[in-house]
């Protein structure tokens, strides 16, 4: 080590040493730029670039060696044999070209090829050095310290191997820097270490050939060779770099303009990417270069995609924090050209938005948009799966039908916006009850269904108890007040029908139907309760269906008829008008009470044509009466919600020719409050026709005074439930007196219905009730039985005897 140091400091001109190192750095700098270019492109271009790399590298190292030799002072005159000097240059160029060529070979053994290439370069440096030294001629004896020589060869080889290992493909500035520094160290350590083992013993007797290159001319030649080689290499690399930079810049602008992420790879390694990919992965450009693209970011791609047999795949992009993004990837291959190797372009598109949109679409397809609960279609699918599972496990499945009580009144009172708000809030509450065992869906309007699994429960008592528990939770959830506005809170209840599979039904349709039947049984009982299905409900339903079918046939075949009940003056019992009452005598069912078939007509919608038939028939009949008595016709709640009702009334009046003042339409308080605004408009339009309006069953509702104030009522009918209790019931008497006084104060007529006894009649007369109706004054009968009333002094059809004028009194009615 001391010999090397002594040789460097005492036997070398340090200025020339620095110049030698500078020239070596220049050559090596240019050489690695050429090597980087030689690592890409087709083999024809690679060979050319490798040759130029070898020329520049070998020439630079050769120039460094001989300039360093000029800096060496052996004390004796020095000359150089031309042939060996030229051979040393050829050795430097050839070995470095071969070494760089080996290192540039891509394949599965990259490290081995680079290390081997570095070894060739290192040994080539030593071969050039010692060949150049053998060309040296001095008047003396040259000898070597072989231990130092061997060490110098080893150091040159090691640093050369490290150089090409660090440099890899010399794509990045860092790789080039490491390669240049290591190769410079290899050249310097090898040369100056070897010179430390070089010994010259002067001997004038040693002959020196005449044809030698003097150091002066050698310096000029070396300077010219080094300058030319480095300049040629530098200019060539610069021109090529600018050309490739121009192409690369155009491609980068194009790539960065794409929304999709683009990645370019060569031999599986990333060589470039656009800004979209960097943003997608949160990376910087230098962090992705030379990374194995598929292994690093797309490890889950199928083998067919990795080998190129498949060009499109949807997979996950793995990020640094182990998070994964869904992406679609397309693979395209670009064959090698004069500028680059075989290149594979990967285009990636972030699928998060698409997956989110698809998820949202699926959610909309499967859920109700208002309540966010499942919709009917999805529920039916879940129900089918649950029934199949029940068949396999033997554990029953329960279905509940839930319908809110009086929800229509909430809509009518506060509007549909408030109704939607209530449904949203109830949907949110019910969603909190959803578990693995409980599935809830909205199937329309205010109708909901519940699918209940009974995990681990097999006994009927356990299943019923579990169903009752869940149903009660639903009732409690719905019973909480709902905020409508600052002044109002709505409180709802629900009717719940329950049916078990397979006990109460053999398939999805029947189990839903039976749960619905049970729910309607709750409705009929006042709501806010839970009822389990039983077989008699099915029998009742079939009976109703039969009745509805028969009623439709009766309407079409004119099997219905009207009975008329007289309405009399309380003092003299003179008949003032008749109330038309519908009767139906079915061939199969016999005489059917209106209390049975009217609700069915309202449920099925038959009440609309049925009501119009009653109105038309009664008006036609009354218009034929010789005595112009009044005629009263009842309107159902369903009819009162039809906008076309005033037009129908006008049409019937025009068709029959009946004086509108003779017609009185009777409505109930309950019918009015279904939709107060609509009812007000319809009744006002009817009132404009000259028709009278009577409020039937007054006092049985819950808004009587408000109804009298807001609606165009002409007469009040005191409900028979109060009249029946007049005798012996102080409260009933007080209510009747209050209604009579109220009607008088409001300038309204009043009539009491359901009068059957003299005591009831006397009470009403004593308290100034001027009109009465009931069995005491006449039963509902066909109009022929009252012929002597409506056609006084005319013979009854089919007879020739006239009826006396007094026959319109109560006593005459009783004798008919």
Q: What residues are annotated to the active site? A: 753
Q: Rounded to the nearest 5 degrees, what angle is found at the Cα of 688, between the Cα atoms of 700 and 582? A: 50
| Nearest residue to 269 (alpha-carbon basis) of 172, 176, 160, 173 | 172
Cα separation values, 16 from 12, 69, 136, 468, Å: 8, 9, 18, 104
Helix and strand tally (H, E) in the chain? 30, 26
- For 308, the 3-state DSSP assignment is coil
272 burial via Cβ count (<10 Å: 0-12, 13-18, 19+): buried
Q: 111 and 169 in contact (C-beta within 8 Å)?
A: no
Which backbone phi and psi does 550 adopt, to 5 degrees? -65, -35
The Cα–Cα gap between 748 and 758 comes to 25
Q: Which two tokens stand for residue 31?
A: 């050489």
Q: Which two tokens stand for residue 798?
A: 């089919």
* Longest Cα separation, the chain: 184
| Nearest residue to 514 (alpha-carbon basis) of 565, 561, 598, 449 | 449
- DSSP annotation string for 637-696: TTGGG-TTHHHHHHHHHHHHT--GGGEEEEEEHHHHHTSHHHHHHHHHHHHHTT-EEEEE
Dihedral angle, C-alpha 523, 636, 688, 675, nearest 10 °: 10
393-396 long-range CB contacts below 8 Å, 24 or more apart?
394/458, 395/453, 395/454, 395/455, 395/457, 395/458, 396/454, 396/463, 396/500, 396/501, 396/502, 396/503
Report the DSSP beta bridge partners of residue 318: 324
- For 266, the 3-state DSSP assignment is strand
Given the structure tokens 């028979």, which residue do they identify?
720
Q: Rounded to the nearest 5 degrees, what angle is found at the Cα of 77, between the Cα atoms of 75 and 83? A: 130
| Nearest residue to 467 (alpha-carbon basis) of 404, 526, 525, 402 | 402
Q: 23 and 63 in contact (C-beta within 8 Å)?
A: yes
Q: What share of the chain is helix, strand, coil (3-state, %, to 5)?
A: 55, 20, 25
The Cα–Cα gap between 513 and 519 comes to 10
Q: Which two tokens stand for residue 287?
A: 């962090």
| Nearest residue to 54 (alpha-carbon basis) of 107, 87, 91 | 91
CB within 8 Å of 345: residues ≥ 6 apart: 262, 263, 264, 331, 332, 333, 334
- Secondary structure letter of residue 81 according to DSSP: -
The Cα–Cα gap between 448 and 405 comes to 12
Helices (H), 730-795: 730-745, 758-766, 787-790
């Amino acid at each position: 080590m001391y010999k090397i140091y002594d040789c460097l400091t005492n036997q070398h001109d340090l200025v020339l040493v620095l110049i030698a190192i500078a020239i070596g750095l220049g050559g090596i700098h240019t050489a690695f730029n050429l090597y980087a270019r030689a690592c890409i492109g087709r083999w024809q271009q690679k060979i050319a670039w490798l040759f130029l790399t070898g020329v520049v590298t070998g020439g630079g190292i050769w120039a460094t060696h001989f300039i360093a030799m000029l800096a060496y002072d052996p004390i004796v005159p020095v000359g150089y044999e031309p042939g060996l000097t030229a051979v040393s240059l050829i050795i430097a160029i050839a070995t470095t070209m071969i070494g760089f060529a080996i290192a540039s070979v891509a394949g599965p053994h990259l490290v081995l090829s680079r290390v081997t290439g570095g070894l060739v370069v290192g040994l080539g440096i030593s071969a050039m050095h010692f060949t150049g030294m053998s060309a040296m001629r001095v008047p003396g004896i040259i000898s070597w310290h072989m231990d130092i020589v061997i060490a110098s060869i080893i150091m040159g080889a090691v640093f050369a191997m490290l150089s090409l290992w660090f440099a890899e493909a010399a794509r990045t500035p860092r790789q080039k820097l490491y390669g240049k520094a290591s190769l410079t160290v290899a050249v310097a350590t090898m040369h100056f270490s070897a010179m430390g083992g070089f010994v010259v013993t002067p001997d004038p007797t040693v002959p020196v050939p005449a044809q030698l290159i003097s150091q002066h001319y050698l310096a000029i030649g070396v300077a010219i060779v080094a300058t030319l080689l480095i300049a040629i290499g530098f200019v060539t690399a610069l021109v090529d770099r600018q050309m490739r930079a121009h192409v690369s810049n155009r491609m980068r602008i194009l790539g960065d303009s794409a929304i999709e992420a683009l990645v370019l790879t060569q031999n599986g390694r990333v060589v470039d990417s656009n800004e979209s990919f960097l943003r997608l992965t949160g990376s910087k450009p230098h962090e992705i270069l030379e990374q194995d693209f598929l292994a690093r970011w797309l490890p889950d791609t199928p083998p067919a995609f990795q080998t190129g047999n498949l060009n499109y795949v949807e997979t996950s992009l793995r990020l640094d924090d182990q998070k994964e993004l869904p992406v679609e990837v397309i693979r395209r291959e670009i064959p090698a050209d004069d500028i680059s190797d075989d290149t594979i372009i990967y285009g990636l598109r972030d699928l998060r938005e698409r997956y989110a949109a698809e998820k949202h679409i699926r959610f909309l397809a499967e859920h109700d948009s208002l309540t966010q609960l499942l919709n009917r279609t999805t529920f039916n699918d879940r129900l089918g799966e649950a029934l199949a599972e029940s068949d396999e496990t033997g554990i029953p499945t329960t279905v509940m039908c839930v319908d809110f009580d009086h929800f229509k009144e909430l809509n009518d009172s506060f509007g549909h916006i408030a109704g939607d708000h209530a449904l949203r809030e109830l949907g949110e509450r019910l969603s909190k009850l959803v578990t693995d065992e409980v599935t809830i869906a909205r199937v329309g309007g205010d109708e909901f269904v519940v699918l209940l699994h009974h995990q681990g429960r097999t006994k009927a008592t356990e299943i019923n108890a579990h169903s009752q528990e869940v149903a009660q939770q639903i009732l409690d959830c719905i019973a909480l007040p709902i905020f409508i506005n600052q002044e109002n809170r709505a409180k709802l209840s629900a009717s719940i029908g329950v049916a078990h599979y397979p006990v109460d039904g053999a398939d999805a349709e029947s189990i839903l139907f039976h749960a619905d039947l049970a729910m309607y049984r709750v409705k009929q009982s006042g709501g806010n309760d839970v009822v389990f299905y039983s077989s008699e409900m099915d029998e009742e339903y079939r009976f109703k269906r039969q009745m509805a079918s028969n009623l439709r046939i009766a309407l079409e075949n004119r099997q219905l008829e009207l009975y008329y009940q007289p309405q009399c003056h309380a003092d003299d019992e003179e008949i003032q008008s008749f109330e038309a009452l519908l009767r139906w005598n079915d061939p199969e069912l016999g005489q059917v009470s209106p209390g049975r078939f009217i609700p069915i007509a309202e449920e099925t919608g038959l009440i609309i044509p049925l009501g119009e038939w009653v109105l038309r028939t009664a008006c036609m009949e009354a218009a034929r009466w010789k005595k112009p008595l009044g005629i009263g016709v009842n309107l159902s709640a369903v009819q009162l919600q039809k906008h076309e009702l005033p037009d129908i009334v006008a049409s019937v009046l025009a068709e029959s020719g009946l004086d509108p003042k003779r017609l009185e339409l009777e409505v109930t308080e309950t019918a009015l409050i279904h939709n107060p605004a609509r009812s007000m408009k319809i009744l006002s339009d009817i009132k404009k026709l000259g028709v009278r309006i009577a409020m039937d069953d007054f006092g049985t509702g819950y808004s009587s005074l408000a109804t009298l104030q807001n609606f165009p009522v002409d007469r009040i009918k005191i409900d028979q439930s109060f009249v029946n209790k007049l005798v012996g019931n102080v409260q009933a008497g007080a209510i009747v007196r209050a209604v009579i006084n109220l009607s008088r104060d409001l300038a309204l007529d009043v009539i009491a219905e359901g009068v059957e006894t003299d005591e009831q009649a006397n009470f009403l007369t004593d308290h100034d009730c001027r009109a009465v109706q009931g069995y005491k004054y006449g039963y509902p009968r066909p109009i022929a039985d009252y012929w002597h009333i409506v056609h006084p002094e005319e013979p009854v059809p089919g007879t020739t005897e006239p009826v006396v004028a007094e026959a319109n009194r109560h006593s005459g009615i009783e004798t008919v």
